[in-house]
């Protein structure tokens, strides 16, 4: 990899050991005995062969004694990207998975989300979810909050304080027959979205940005969708929503938007399908719709735990990738019960294998490909891949220090193993105990500075 000369000589961290990451060409690149320097702005200054450490120390003015030498059972990988998570559903995650999507929303989700009017409750839940995801290695999260602007701003503040890279969405919905008090007027939804964006931008948090968030086509009138499309366009903002998650939902959308041929058309016609759009699920998208995603540069957040937990469907990721659609992984907490992208990787593999059981011609995903979906793929899905996603000079250092042999850890290593085996074991068997340190833009955010829970 080429090194660009930085005028601000000096590095904040230098690591030496095994690195693993993905590139556009290879889902898994293993860089054994490599030395990586992080500059004072948190960007990767160099990534070179370990044997060149002496000349690098002269050039970048660091002491060899300051180099952090990894152990043989340690490696560094890019931080995990959760491209779809409802921060507001964390309080009840791990429960309430006995109903299909639309009934689940009405019965469990809307009543809980309506409680985020209370900022004290929001503060408690949002601190917990940001901490929990950080310690599980989520360096970037794309969050749904609730309809409440001030609580959504608080989520941005907490992500910034704890050091997580985040897209934060104030949820927009002007239709809700089931829980009538949990909705906004069209006007308020648009006005409050503008206030949310303006106030969040004014904070100038370096790694927290707003994302325009229509809940989904069933919750929004065409008038509101138009407003939100305009807001996103005028401010060049990210957009997130849900699409084609469950069959009943698809049917309702078809009935609501009779003039439009497909679910994708609903968003596209309202300027909500752009190269900064991430849509969760997409289980029932047709090949034509996948082509529309590709043409627009829009992406899919694959949320396999949720898709199975709510019996929604199974996304054929291989087919989406064959259509050159960008795909990332999402936990979809609380439709998915796990806050960990390690879990999402495992569920993605299982879903792919279930598709193969149904159709022996299906080409399953490999663990290397799923690793890429969780890192570089996620950053592409969120259009943040110029900043994060893998180890390239000039990108921010978002990384996990993984130790596969922690005391009382979740797995055993029975002899010297190559880095690839350590990675595969970690992806299948590891958990947060193996994630010893988490960095976002060069800042060490795990272990936490304080012990508060």
Q: Would you tell me which residues interact with ligand GUN (CB under 6 A)?
A: 86, 101, 105, 109, 215-216, 242, 245, 306, 332, 335
**Minimum CB separation from ligand GUN for residue 271, in Å?**
20
The torsion defined by the Cα of 408, 414, 417 and 423, in degrees rounded to 10, comes to: -40
Q: Are 143 and 192 in contact (CB under 8 A)?
A: no
Residue 168: how many CB atoms within 10 A of its CB?
Answer: 29
**Minimum CB separation from Fe ion for residue 93, in Å?**
12
**Minimum CB separation from ligand GUN for residue 102, in Å?**
8
What tokens appear for 328 in the block?
């990332």
**Binding partner selected for residue 164 from Fe ion, ligand GUN, none, CB under the kind-specific 5 to 8 Å limit:** none
Measured from the CB atom, is 246 or 403 closer to ligand GUN? 246
**Binding partner selected for residue 105 from ligand GUN, Fe ion, none, CB under the kind-specific 5 to 8 Å limit:** ligand GUN
Measured from the CB atom, is 236 or 255 closer to ligand GUN? 255
**Pure H helices in 213-272:** 222-235, 247-256, 263-269
**Minimum CB separation from ligand GUN for residue 432, in Å?**
24
**Minimum CB separation from ligand GUN for residue 210, in Å?**
18
Please give the sequence-ordered ranges of beta strands (E in DSSP) within 333-449, or none if there are none. Answer: 399-403, 435-440, 443-446
**Minimum CB separation from ligand GUN for residue 154, in Å?**
19
Which of 351, 236, 252 shows the shortest CA–CA distance to 302? 351
Measured from the CB atom, is 18 or 125 closer to ligand GUN? 125
Please identify the residue of the shown chain whose CB is closest to the bound ligand GUN.
335
Residue 379: how many CB atoms within 10 A of its CB?
Answer: 27
**Binding partner selected for residue 159 from ligand GUN, Fe ion, none, CB under the kind-specific 5 to 8 Å limit:** none
Using CB under 5 A as the criterion, which residues of the chain lie in contact with Fe ion when the complex forms?
280, 332
Measured from the CB atom, is 105 or 376 closer to ligand GUN? 105
Measured from the CB atom, is 237 or 243 closer to ligand GUN? 243
Which of 342, 374, 402, 421 shows the shortest CA–CA distance to 75? 402
Name, in order, each residue with C-beta under 8 angstroms of 450's C-beta and a sequence gap of 6 or more: none
Which of 148, 303, 291, 136 shows the shortest CA–CA distance to 213? 148
């Amino acid at each position: 990899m080429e090194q660009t000369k930085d005028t601000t000589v000096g590095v904040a961290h230098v690591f030496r050991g095994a690195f693993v990451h993905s590139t556009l060409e290879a889902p898994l690149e293993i860089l054994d005995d490599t030395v990586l320097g992080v500059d004072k702005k948190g960007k990767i200054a160099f990534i070179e062969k370990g044997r060149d450490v002496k000349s690098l120390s002269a050039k970048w003015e660091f002491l060899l004694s300051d180099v952090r030498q990894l152990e043989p059972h340690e490696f560094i990988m890019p931080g995990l990207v959760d491209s779809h998570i409802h921060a507001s559903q964390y309080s009840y995650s791990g429960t309430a998975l006995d109903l299909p999507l639309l009934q689940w929303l009405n019965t469990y989700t809307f009543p809980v989300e309506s409680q985020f009017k209370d900022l004290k409750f929001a503060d408690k839940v949002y601190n917990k979810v940001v901490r929990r995801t950080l310690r599980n290695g989520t360096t970037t999260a794309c969050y749904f909050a609730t309809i409440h602007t001030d609580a959504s701003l608080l989520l941005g503040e907490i992500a910034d304080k704890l050091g997580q890279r985040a897209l934060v969405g104030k949820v927009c919905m002007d239709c809700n027959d089931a829980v009538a008090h949990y909705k906004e007027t069209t006007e308020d939804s648009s006005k409050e979205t503008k206030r949310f964006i303006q106030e969040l931008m004014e904070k100038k948090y370096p790694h927290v940005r707003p994302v325009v968030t229509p809940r989904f086509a069933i919750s929004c009138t065409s008038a509101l969708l138009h407003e939100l499309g305009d807001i996103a366009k005028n401010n060049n903002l990210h957009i997130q929503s849900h699409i084609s998650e469950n069959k009943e939902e698809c049917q309702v959308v078809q009935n609501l938007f009779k003039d439009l041929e497909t679910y994708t058309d609903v968003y596209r016609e309202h300027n909500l399908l752009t190269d900064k759009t991430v849509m969760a699920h997409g289980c029932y998208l047709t090949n034509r719709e996948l082509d529309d995603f590709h043409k627009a540069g829009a992406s899919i957040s694959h949320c396999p735990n949720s898709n199975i937990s709510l019996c929604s469907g199974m996304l054929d990721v291989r087919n989406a990738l064959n259509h050159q659609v960008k795909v990332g992984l999402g936990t979809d907490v609380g439709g998915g019960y796990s806050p960990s992208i390690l879990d999402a990787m495992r569920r993605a593999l299982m879903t792919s294998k279930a598709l193969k059981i149904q159709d022996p011609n299906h080409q399953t995903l490999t663990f290397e490909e799923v690793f890429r979906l969780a890192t570089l793929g996620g950053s592409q899905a969120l259009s943040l891949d110029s900043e994060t996603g893998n180890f390239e000079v000039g990108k921010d250092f978002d990384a996990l220090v993984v130790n596969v042999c922690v005391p009382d850890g979740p797995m055993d290593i029975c002899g010297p193993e190559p880095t690839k085996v350590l990675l595969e074991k970690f992806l299948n068997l590891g958990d947060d105990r193996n994630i010893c340190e988490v960095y976002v833009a060069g800042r060490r955010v795990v272990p936490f500075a304080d012990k508060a829970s």
